[in-house]
Structure 1
């Protein structure tokens, strides 16, 4: 039996405020400038708790899934090697970006030491996010970023990175969020190029002329916010944690994180857990590394990927929302399910760092303990 508990937090989470998760009409509370639902106060000064969760007013539009689906989402290392032999990538309409995390445990060469020829480096954690907030830069700022990288309206943007293209896939999702037309991943990433193929790395950093790319408002058809996820989670929680809502929730974290035995994967993160551990009720758990080849880092064939998710309980007749800790690993799953399989998929990038720190949201825990900072397993 899965225990369903309520999460608690010492502070609010950026992007939304949780007042009460019991459902109800939005008009029971007023909407503040930040988009959160406030508490009504009567003449006696006593407040009545609002009954909804509202996302901050983040500019965006709905452009559908056809806006991001592409027939050729992957480029092979052989294809890239041939393009490099032909000469300048920019003259061929190609922008090559290294989006590596350079983890201390990585056996791959950091970009600053050497990289794939003609690749530029993209520091995702600094260049994608606005300062002092948990949100991406504006469309205008993303336009400036894209142009500084030499991206034109007709460019093919090829992304690669370390750790099975973990952060390159995250960049792919963000680029698609802002309407970059042709975004592909180098299948296998730096692992395939450097270790498996043993291809050339260089120290030279390329100089590219400014591009003419213009970003669109965020495509909210591929991004999920907490109110949408909360509605699904509450339906599942009312059913004892079973997935009864007509939307698949896919938790791509490790099994230990999903079950609530640990706050974060100790092999990857240190001390970055949420207040409460576990998963969103009704989620299936498919760790993101299950869908890549251990030897090459390439994605498994499409039908094998589909079979893995079907075996875990994903119903491909329904849309999918993927989440992890902050959205980066979930973007790898988004790429596989959306770009390779062509399914309707959103990333809940608030993920567990938002959900596990929110007051009043339902949490499922398989560990048999009240785990987290306020539970028996917390320190």
Structure 2
């Protein structure tokens, strides 16, 4: 399995071969129901404390929770480092995408996003309720070979490169108030189909990106002020075959503090 995104039908046929991860809150997982065999890793357990970057954390680390927290949470959910993980939420995949990118940053390379969410799954497939018993593991993170995170200096160099498309996944008014030089504004929701609750068909995605000046084969630099939005766009681009993706989580306040310029609309 090579695609970073998998369909609900594919997952239904492979439930015994993967570890399904539900990143919703525990009350949703237990009471509303979950995909059979799923384990619960609530999103708030794998995010850093609010405003970590502004407090002086490494911008390349962004809002990652830290290795010790990641190992504790995944071990508590019974996940092994070699498991094939398929993550989902009930919000078009935006929170699950953040789980996926976090996993990549900590060396768990075999991670996939369910195309759709719990509501999409429950239309055609069985759900479970209650809290399953989980056998904890000694999860150990690995050095990542696929982490997309980059630092300030890498971004600074990328902004002067002719072959880099800079994508700002914030809201249009945020982009207009100030953005990295040459950045293109792209709302992650433009890539989502409201009916299927997953990504739009590939041809539509490619057309949307082309309209924003992003074409296949381009190097792409992504940034935002919300980790889950940039993560979702990252997954969509990986799904389409984009390979050279840079992921910057430093804040624009930190950018300006270093004396770097911003543009405004």
Q: How far off its partner does 1:365 sit?
A: 1.1
Matches within 5 A, 1:15-34: none
In the TM superposition, residue 228 of structure 1 has moved relative to its aligned partner by: 1.9
Structural RMSD (CA): 2.9
Q: Are the equivalent residues in 2 in contact too, given 1:99–1:160 (CA < 8 A)?
A: yes
Q: Distance in 1 between matches of 2:210 and 2:218?
A: 12
The separation in 1 between residues aligned to 2:25 and 2:183, in whole angstroms, is 27
Aligned 8 A contact 2:93 2:116 in 1: yes
Structure number, greater radius of gyration:
1
Does 2:209 correspond to 1:309? yes
Q: Find the counterpart in structure 2 of residue 110 from structure 1.
A: 28
Contact 1:321–1:347 (CA under 8 A) maintained in structure 2: yes
> Residue in 2 aligned with 1:156?
84
* Structure 2 CA distance for aligned equivalents of residues 323 and 165 of structure 1: 18
Shift of 1:129: 2.7
**1:257 matches 2:154:** no
CA 1:249 to 1:317, structure 2 compared with 1: closer, same or farther past 3 Å?
Answer: same
Say which SS state the counterpart of residue 99 (structure 2) adopts.
helix
Q: What does residue 40 of structure 2 align with?
A: 121
The correspondence of residues 349-364 of structure 1 with structure 2, limited to 5 A, is 349-352=249-252, 354-355=254-255, 358=257, 360-364=259-263
**Structure 2 residue 98 is the aligned partner of structure 1 residue 170:** yes
Pair 1:232–1:132, CA change in 2 (3 A): closer
Whether the 8 Å CA contact 2:108–2:144 is kept in 1: the answer is: no
Aligned residue pairs: how many? 255
Residues 229, 97 of structure 1: alpha-carbon distance in 2 compared, 3 angstrom cutoff = same
Answer whether contact 2:206 2:215 (CA < 8 A) is retained.
no
1:36 is aligned to none
Aligned residue number for residue 184 of structure 2: 284
CA distance in 1, matches of 2:66, 2:171: 32
Q: Report the TM-score when normalising by structure 2.
A: 0.82
Find the partner of 2:117 among 180, 189, 201.
189
TM-score by length of 1: 0.59
Question: Who is 1:208 aligned against?
Answer: 134
Q: Could you give the per-residue CA deviations for residues 232-290 of structure 1, whole angstroms, max 9, x where no partner exists?
A: 44x4xxxxxxxx64322111222222222xxxxxxxxxxxxxxxxx2111111221111
What is the Cα deviation at residue 132 of structure 1?
8.6
Counterpart check, 1:98 vs 2:16: no
Partners in 1 of 2:19 and 2:29 — Cα distance? Answer: 16
Q: Deviations over 1:312-354 (max 9, x none)?
A: 1125444111112132201101101124424211221225464
After TM superposition, give the deviation of residue 229 of structure 1 in Å: 1.8
Q: CA deviation at 1:219?
A: 4.7
Q: Secondary structure at the match of 1:96?
A: strand
Native 8 Å contact 1:292 1:299 kept in 2: yes
More helix by share: 2
Q: Unmatched 5+ residue regions in structure 1?
A: 1-69, 84-88, 103-108, 236-243, 261-277, 367-379
Structure 2: which 5+ runs fail to align?
Answer: 54-60
DSSP 3-state at the match of 1:346:
strand
CA contact (8 A) 1:191 1:296 kept: no
CA 318–74 in structure 1, closer or farther in 2 if over 3 Å, else same: closer
Q: Tell me, yes or no, if structure 1 residue 72 matches structure 2 residue 11.
A: no
Whole-Å Cα distance in 2 between the matches of residues 149 and 220 of structure 1?
A: 23
